[in-house]
Amino acid sequence: MDPVTVTAGVGAVASVSRVGYVWLSARMHRRRVELEVRREQEQYAALIATIGLLPPGSEITEQHPDGRCVTVKLPLSEAVS
């Protein structure tokens, strides 16, 4: 084999390897995002179900990672369902 053929072959293999790596990385990222979205949807559904069980006038406080607190008070007239 002459050097040009070997160099071209190595370049082609390297290109295919890069494409494969990028494809696998994108696929793993997509699966990770889909799993995260599914988890967030389940947490949201559980939160809504829990809020529906609370009596009217209840207060819900959430603390964010940056230290802020958010408090929500349910109306006295009706509970969230």
For residue 27, is pLDDT > 70?
yes
pLDDT, tens only, 34-67: 999 999 999 999 988 888 888 888 888 889 889 9
CA angle 46, 52, 56 (to 5 degrees): 145
Q: b/e string for 42-62 if b means 16 or more Cβ within 10 A?
A: eeeeeeeeeeeeeeeeeeeee
d(CA 36, CA 56): 32
For residue 81, is pLDDT > 60?
no
The pTM assigned to this predicted structure is: 0.55
- Under 8 Å between Cβ of 51 and 43: no
Maximum alpha-carbon separation in the chain: 86
